[in-house]
Structure 1
Amino acid sequence: MTDVCNFNDQTLGEEISNAISHGLGAALSIAGTVVMIVSAALNHKTPITIVGVSIFGASLILLYLTSCLYHSLVPNKGKKVFQILDHCMIFILITGTYTPICFSLIGGWVGWTVWGFNMACTVLGVVLNAINLAKWHKLSLGLYVLMGWSIVMAGWKVFPLIPLDGWAMILLGGIFYTVGIIFYRAKNPKYMHFIWHLFVLAGSLCHFFFVLQHCCY
């Protein structure tokens, strides 16, 4: 019996590592979401701030839970469906991450423009992935990067609104996500996808602590 799952060339050991890593991410996301919402409420933040951090938390939970389930399934039609959902959740996480930043810190027409741009890209990406994941795969990667760094487009307006330590966390998280794509694209040696998962976790942690510190307190 071979140890190859025959799905995206991932071995059984790789898929177990992939599932465990993002299963841990799902558990941390649930705990982190509770912490953000409670902290925002206790610090008497505005309702839109609480909504923003809730959306961010929900996007984290959805991404990591979907990824964990996808990598946990044996190769079948269900796994293919979850593969599509897994890629779609990346779009949702990016917009979810921008939500508390745009709602609470940037605000005004600039905040809504940045958020609206990312939401439009999310809708486009989800629709294209649902139609044909393989065909639009490279475009999706481009959209991920474009969305992730779209805050730079409004840098002249946004920079004074976010403290330098906050910018450091935002940029570090973006670097983790972007550099991780290198491992995501790599096919050999083994466990490259698992390393990609670790970079995603690191990026999420950076952005979680940013939102917790600058939106919830």
Structure 2
Amino acid sequence: MVIKRHNKKPAPSIVSRSRLQSPTEEIANSAVHGFGLVAMVVATPLLIRRAAAVGDAVFVAGVWVFCASAIILYFSSSLYHALPAGREKRFFLALDYYAIFLLIAGTYTPFTLGVLRGAWGWSLFAVIWGLAAAGILLKMFAASDNPVRTALPYLLMGWVIVIAIKPLIEMVPLSGLILLLAGGLFYSFGVLFYAGLSWVPFGHAVWHLFVCAGTGCHAVAIYRYGV
């Protein structure tokens, strides 16, 4: 008697680990964030000049923080995906993870030091950078290769802004609020491709596109409504 074994692959789970990317996918991953890097390098002097024209030195410093954090993220991500397996690739992967925390906090910074300022601004500034530091330390010493557990702290940090929604509504025009919300939604929906749909071909590149769109919305919001 012969017993037949049916080795069916289970359907991908939302809590499954991210799969390895094919060489073609890695090219796409690197290219998308390479575009993001170039865009941020071009946008930085425009944002800084605008900040200097409409705000004080503290606000200008906040815009510098946003630009620097975005450039670090796109640089580390594009280089990580472009490198072959090895020590350098692992280094830039770690830097990429840390840079996400930096970009989230860096995106808050122009608003906390600009339009909010005062008690709300400085309190939110301290909270978000404290969370960024905690997230980086957690990633250093308790890293997880589960994409859902990796993405969750980023999402929680990104939506901390809701605690300051009342002063934001009072101080930021509707069009600015729409840009802030759109940026947050781009990042959040993109996480579906990072964590839940990582098995989809070129899903990680789609995640990168969402990240670029989110950064773009927030850069425009900072340019027009940061102070």
Normalising by structure 2, we get a TM-score of 0.87
- The one of 11, 21, 26 equivalent to 1:15 is 26
Q: Report the Cα offset of residue 139 of structure 1.
A: 4.3
Take 1:14 and 1:141, find their aligned partners in 2: how far apart are those partners? 20
> What is the aligned partner in structure 2 of residue 147 from structure 1?
157
Take 1:23 and 1:198, find their aligned partners in 2: how far apart are those partners? 11
Take 2:95 and 2:168, find their aligned partners in 1: how far apart are those partners? 32
Instruction: Select the structure of larger CA radius of gyration.
Output: 2
Percent identity at matched positions?
34
Take 1:74 and 1:148, find their aligned partners in 2: how far apart are those partners? 31
Take 1:86 and 1:191, find their aligned partners in 2: how far apart are those partners? 19
Specify every segment of 5 or more residues in structure 2 that has no aligned partner in the other structure, as ranges. 1-17
Q: Report the Cα offset of residue 187 of structure 1.
A: 2.7
Take 1:90 and 1:98, find their aligned partners in 2: how far apart are those partners? 13
Specify every segment of 5 or more residues in structure 1 that has no aligned partner in the other structure, as ranges. 1-6
Secondary structure of 1:9's match? coil
Which digits, 9 at most, give the CA deviation of each residue in 1:2-48, with x for residues without a partner? Answer: xxxxx94100000001111111111111111111112222x252101
> What is the aligned partner in structure 2 of residue 128 from structure 1?
138
Take 1:161 and 1:86, find their aligned partners in 2: how far apart are those partners? 33
Any conservation in 2 of the 1:129–1:137 contact (CA below 8 Å)? no
Take 1:111 and 1:16, find their aligned partners in 2: how far apart are those partners? 40
- The one of 95, 100, 103 equivalent to 2:113 is 103
- The one of 143, 164, 169 equivalent to 1:159 is 169
Any conservation in 2 of the 1:36–1:53 contact (CA below 8 Å)? yes
Take 2:204 and 2:175, find their aligned partners in 1: how far apart are those partners? 30
Q: Report the Cα offset of residue 136 of structure 1.
A: 7.8
Q: Report the Cα offset of residue 137 of structure 1.
A: 5.7
Take 1:174 and 1:114, find their aligned partners in 2: how far apart are those partners? 17
Take 1:172 and 1:44, find their aligned partners in 2: how far apart are those partners? 24
- The one of 69, 72, 86 equivalent to 1:62 is 72
Residue 195 (structure 2) pairs with residue 188 (structure 1): no
Count of paired positions: 209
Residues 1:90 and 1:196: Cα distance change in structure 2 (over 3 Å): same
Take 1:131 and 1:138, find their aligned partners in 2: how far apart are those partners? 18
Any conservation in 1 of the 2:19–2:199 contact (CA below 8 Å)? no
Normalising by structure 1, we get a TM-score of 0.91
Any conservation in 2 of the 1:16–1:71 contact (CA below 8 Å)? yes
